Chain A
């Protein structure tokens, strides 16, 4: 359910940023989301489309860059992705891990058409 809250905030920032920069239309929003956010991309996109309806961001595409749960293994000293939710180092099988990345949740860029763009 928290996808709707997140979609509403993305829409708010996209619309406000678009207005502040004199965009007639927002066409693309790029976000970075870590796996620890437990966010379902399809659900987020569905909610984003609802939240942008009848605004300058209606129809904008939402590009979701996903960041894997990333840890450093203290045993083999490699940086590894935990894809299987097993919290085992895929290189050496160890559990002596140190969190590195995967809790990102931010908007990277907003693209759009300027009010006076010819096309």
Chain B
């Protein structure tokens, strides 16, 4: 009997492609954010609001890659705002991987993009496990999903740099306890930044986009990623 010590990451092939993507993003000076969250949590609406706010306050240009099982609906919504957008349909796949991303990157004018959002397939489980080459993961959590979702699906929140809690205008109509949600999020990931946003009224958008712009500036100074 022969025993071979391997100690190789099971997703090493994905990791290698992700590092290749990250080097490409670095060479083109693009901050890349991988956006996770349940279906209906408000990921696309947050991106619409963010595109408006960043355009208004900084003049930086944004690009978006949309991941969905099917349809071009999200790409059409983002495209209507005049920013470059690519739609990936996974045809049943529950997450994006580094290879899917690699295969569409040459369709984007990366040199003209300052911040690239990758909106992952709506799902709090699998997307957390696959590095795409992003500089940070951001998880969107809506008030209507319930304050228990961080502890039920902790991996996405552990691996994120930031969580944006959306639909805060519906707090009075739900039993969502903001203090409980934030305490759980901080227990899972003590370095997590948490923002509260209402996409309908625009409340809280400014604080979130300022975090984003600071991240962009910090990334340019360090010239490196911090993907966990």
- A9 at interface, CB cutoff 8 A: yes
Q: How far is A118 from B1 in the complex, measured between Cα atoms in Å?
A: 10
User: In the assembled complex, which residues on chain A have CB atoms less than 8 Å from the CB atom of B97?
Assistant: 5
* Chain A positions 83 through 117: 1 when the CB is less than 8 Å from some CB of chain B, otherwise 0: 00111100000011111000101111111111001
Knowing A98-B190, A108-B7, say if A37 contacts B129 (CB, 8 Å). Answer: yes
Knowing A110-B3, A110-B4, say if A105 contacts B11 (CB, 8 Å). Answer: yes
Are the C-beta atoms of B151 and A108 separated by less than 8 Å?
no
Chain B interface main SS type: mixed
Q: How far is A2 from B186 in the complex, measured between Cα atoms in Å?
A: 27
Of the listed stretches B112-120, B154-162, B165-173, B207-215, name the one at the interface; the rest are far from the partner chain.
Answer: B154-162
- A76 at interface, CB cutoff 8 A: no
The A-contacting residues of B in range 8-64, CB under 8 angstroms, are 8-14
* Chain B positions 116 through 153: 1 when the CB is less than 8 Å from some CB of chain A, otherwise 0: 00000000011011100000000000000000000111
- A36 at interface, CB cutoff 8 A: yes
Rounded to whole Å, the gap between the CB of B36 and the closest CB of chain A is 13
Are the C-beta atoms of A13 and B6 separated by less than 8 Å?
yes
- Number of residues of chain A lying within 8 A (CB) of chain B: 38
Q: How far is A50 from B92 in the complex, measured between Cα atoms in Å?
A: 20
Instruction: Report which of B4, B95, B159 forms a contact with A17, defined as CB distance below 8 A.
Output: B4
Instruction: Report which of A27, A85, A95, A106 forms a contact with B154, defined as CB distance below 8 A.
Output: A85
Are the C-beta atoms of B1 and A107 separated by less than 8 Å?
no
Are the C-beta atoms of B125 and A31 separated by less than 8 Å?
no
User: In the assembled complex, which residues on chain B have CB atoms less than 8 Å from the CB atom of A108?
Assistant: 5-7
Residues on B facing A (Cβ under 8 Å) = 1-14, 93-95, 97, 125-126, 128-130, 151-155, 158-159, 183-184, 186-190
Residues on A facing B (Cβ under 8 Å) = 1-2, 5-6, 9-10, 12-13, 17, 21, 23, 27, 31, 36-38, 69, 85-88, 95-99, 103, 105-114, 117
14 contacts between A and B (CB under 8 A): A2-B94, A9-B10, A9-B13, A38-B128, A96-B190, A97-B188, A99-B190, A103-B155, A103-B158, A107-B6, A107-B7, A107-B10, A108-B5, A110-B4
Seed contacts A38-B128, A103-B159, A106-B9; 4 additional CB < 8 Å A-B pairs: A1-B94, A6-B11, A85-B154, A110-B4
